[in-house]
Amino acid sequence: MTYDIKETDNKFYIGEDVNAPQAEITFLYHDAQTINVNHTYVSPELRGGGVAKQLFNRVIDKAKHEDLKIIPTCSYVKLQFDRDASLESLRA
């Protein structure tokens, strides 16, 4: 299932309430060329449906389009980087 993913200055999320999303991936700007992706959350009712991967892909698209490097401090994001060597060029 594909979800309506919304964006703010520091996150991509699913849900109507930005302060209480059903799922989110958050990042902080380390500097003008680098973001630290520091948190991924998916509510229990959405788990197992690929939601985290959809959010992760949005961060990857953002990094590619804005020429950003990623510091993967979130355990989920770090795992995705470790599994996919093609992402290495985006790692800070």
Length of the chain counted residue by residue = 92
Helices (H), the chain: 51-65, 75-83
pLDDT of residue 2: 85
Q: Is the Cβ–Cβ distance between 18 and 6 less than 8 Å?
A: yes
Tokens describing residue 62: 């953002």
pLDDT reading at 1 higher than 90: no
Q: 6-90 belongs to which CATH class?
A: alpha beta
The structure's pTM equals: 0.95
Q: Is the Cβ–Cβ distance between 77 and 59 less than 8 Å?
A: yes
pLDDT of residue 51: 97
pLDDT digits (tens, 9 = 90+) for 7-52: 999 999 999 999 999 999 999 999 999 999 999 999 999 999 999 9
